[in-house]
């Protein structure tokens, strides 16, 4: 079964658009990430159409989902701005060609240096999450004689109905300002120089398959906007965050039309400019992680397919109990399936990409594609066990290009320094 039209079997071998993943593996080695431009473009257009149906707004791609410069540049070329959460991500967005005015700087716990960066680079909007942030940004901006557009992220205490580790809008989560305290915080912000608190920002969580939680969250935001306006604080912008989920398990995908209807009936009549921050929706389905089977170990109770990608390449299965479809790169003949654990070589029991998965028989040397890995895949990679970061490839039609080289072991180990007081390493 193909993953989608852009990743399907051609003459029995899985291709990304017009490029064979088998040939790519021969050329670049394994493991590697491979992304389809066509999927990114399709997802962007779907979201952009939804935004038009809501009467318009800005799409600021949540760069954290996949911050490769080429991915950001692809989305910027389609018209996206960027949502960033660190100076590093802001620098990536700028380097990829996003205009500063189209960047929203979100995130909990910004350093003064990051706020200085935002001011000095003319970032379009800064979303703040505490009174301390407001005071520092005010001082930094006023000292430079500029006024920054500011959003205050509110925590609406809504259960997004998603995995606990990616739920952000409950009172017990670290994010935002408790919505009941928001009027006092806006009043304080309005009195400070250098900042213009004209936006309300909210993001309740990620991988929402049910759109209903948005209804409650956006209703609370709408009543806050009314309350603030009555208090003389003219809210003109709403940042509704991201969070739209993708069907990793082949679930019925969320209907963007439901999301559109919720936005329209909750905040649609406030006359505010809307910003959206989709991450996963735009890039998850655009990427696969390709790896090669090293060994098939038959244990007493389980069979382990050990392959050369690990939790270091894709941590989502072990961190969030996430499910990613796994497909053999060469189309299997026959219908026999075996239930196996797909694991990596890292010395951790938690190092798996799938457990109890029914897959066609696999042999050492076979290639597999871990699908829907374009979001929160490569960006969450680590070098644990001194494993170099894998390369990333972008495909467009019949063409492909490295968009990140494989990290070399020399580069990785070369970051370390042995202090003078330790014996010199013997290199003989
Ligand atoms: N805006 C804000 C303020 C966010 O915190 C996030 C994600 C987004 C937008 C984008 O959300 P999306 O549309 O991608 O759901 N590593 C986790 C996901 C963490 C999401 C963090 N915030 C995972 O692999 O599932």
15/417 Cα distance (integer angstroms): 43
Q: What is the pLDDT of residues 66-96, one digit of tens each?
A: 999 999 999 999 999 999 999 999 999 999 9
43 and 16 in a common domain? no
24 and 64 in a common domain? no
Q: What is the pLDDT of residues 382-392, one digit of tens each?
A: 999 999 999 99
Q: Which of 260, 280, 300 is the last residue of a domain?
A: 280
153/377 Cα distance (integer angstroms): 26
Residues counted in the chain? 428
The tokens for 183 are 């009027």
166 and 299 in a common domain? no
| Angle ∠(298,300,303) on CA atoms, nearest 5 | 35
Ligand 1 nearest atom to the CA of residue 376, by list position: 24
Q: Which residue, by CA, sits nearest to atom 22 of ligand 1?
A: 206
301 and 228 in a common domain? no
197 and 86 in a common domain? yes
**Does some domain include residue 426?**
no
**Does some domain include residue 137?**
yes
Indicate the DSSP class of residue 379. Answer: G
Residue 347 annotated to the active site: yes
**Does some domain include residue 420?**
no
**Distance, CA 356 to ligand 1 centroid (Å)?**
28
With tokens 């050329």, the residue in question is 27
**Can you give the pTM of this predicted structure?**
0.97
**Does some domain include residue 291?**
yes
303 and 195 in a common domain? no
307 and 264 in a common domain? no
Find the Cα–Cα–Cα–Cα dihedral 226, 228, 234, 239, rounded to 10°.
Answer: -80
The tokens for 139 are 């001082």
- State the pLDDT confidence band at 162, using cuts at 50, 70 and 90: confident
Domain count, the chain: 2
- The radius of gyration of the chain's CA atoms, rounded to the nearest angstrom, is 23
Q: Which residue, by CA, sits nearest to atom 6 of ligand 1?
A: 242
What residue numbers bound the domain in which 210 lies?
Answer: 37-280
pLDDT for residue 3:
65
66 and 170 in a common domain? yes
**Distance, CA 242 to ligand 1 centroid (Å)?**
7
pLDDT for residue 174:
77
339 and 197 in a common domain? no
Q: Which of 250, 265, 280 is the last residue of a domain?
A: 280
Q: What is the pLDDT of residues 257-315, one digit of tens each?
A: 999 999 999 999 999 999 999 999 999 999 999 999 999 999 899 999 999 999 999 99
Q: Which of helix, strand or coil describes residue 357?
A: strand
Q: Confirm if 74 and 282 have CB atoms less than 8 A apart.
A: no
Ligand 1 nearest atom to the CA of residue 243, by list position: 15
CATH code, domain with 222: 3.20.20.10
**Does some domain include residue 147?**
yes
262 and 173 in a common domain? yes
Q: What is the pLDDT of residues 324-346, one digit of tens each?
A: 999 999 999 988 999 999 999 99
301 and 261 in a common domain? no
**Does some domain include residue 59?**
yes
CATH code, domain with 396: 2.40.37.10
49 and 60 in a common domain? yes
70/377 Cα distance (integer angstroms): 15
Q: Which of 253, 280, 307 is the last residue of a domain?
A: 280
**Does some domain include residue 423?**
no
**Strand segments (E) across 37-169:** 58-62, 81-84, 103-105, 125-128, 148-155
**Does some domain include residue 127?**
yes
């Amino acid at each position: 079964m193909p993953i989608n039209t852009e990743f399907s079997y051609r003459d029995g071998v899985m291709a990304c658009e017009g490029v064979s993943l088998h040939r790519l593996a021969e050329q670049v080695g394994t493991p590697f990430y491979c992304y389809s431009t066509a999927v990114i473009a399709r997802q962007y257009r779907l979201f952009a159409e939804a935004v038009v149906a809501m009467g318009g707004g800005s799409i600021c791609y949540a760069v954290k989902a996949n911050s490769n410069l080429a991915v950001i540049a692809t989305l910027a070329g389609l018209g996206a701005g960027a949502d960033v959460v660190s100076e590093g991500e802001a620098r990536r967005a700028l380097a990829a060609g996003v205009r500063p005015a189209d960047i929203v700087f979100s995130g909990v716990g910004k350093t003064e240096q990051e706020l200085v960066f935002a001011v000095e680079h003319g970032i379009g909007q800064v979303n703040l999450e505490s009174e301390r942030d407001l005071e520092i940004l005010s001082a930094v901006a006023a000292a430079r004689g500029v006024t920054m557009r500011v959003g205050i992220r509110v925590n609406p205490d809504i259960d997004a109905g998603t995995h606990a580790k990616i739920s952000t809008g409950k009172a017990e989560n670290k994010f935002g300002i408790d919505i009941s305290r928001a009027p006092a915080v806006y009043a304080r912000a309005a009195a400070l120089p250098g900042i213009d608190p004209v936006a309300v920002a909210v993001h309740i969580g990620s991988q929402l398959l049910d759109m209903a939680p948005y209804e409650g969250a956006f209703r609370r935001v709408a009543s806050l906007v009314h309350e603030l306006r009555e208090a003389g604080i003219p809210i003109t912008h709403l940042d509704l965050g991201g969070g739209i989920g993708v069907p990793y398990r082949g679930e019925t995908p969320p209907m963007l039309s439901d999301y559109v209807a919720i936005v329209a009936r909750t905040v649609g009549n406030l006359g505010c400019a809307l910003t959206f921050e989709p991450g996963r929706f735009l890039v998850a389905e655009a990427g696969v992680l390709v790896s090669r089977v090293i060994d098939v170990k038959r244990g007493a109770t389980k069979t382990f397919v050990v392959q050369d990608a690990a939790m270091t390449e894709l941590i989502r299965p072990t961190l969030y109990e996430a499910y990613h479809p796994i497909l053999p790169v060469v189309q299997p003949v026959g219908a026999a399936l075996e239930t196996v654990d797909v694991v990596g070589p890292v010395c951790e029991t938690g190092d798996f990409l799938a457990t109890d998965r029914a897959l066609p028989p696999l042999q050492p040397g076979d290639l597999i594609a871990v699908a829907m890995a374009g979001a929160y895949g490569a960006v969450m990679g680590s070098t644990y066990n001194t494993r170099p970061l894998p390369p990333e490839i972008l495909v467009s039609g019949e063409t492909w290009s490295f968009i990140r080289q494989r990290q070399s072991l020399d580069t990785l180990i070369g970051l370390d320094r042995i202090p003078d007081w330790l014996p010199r390493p013997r290199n003989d």
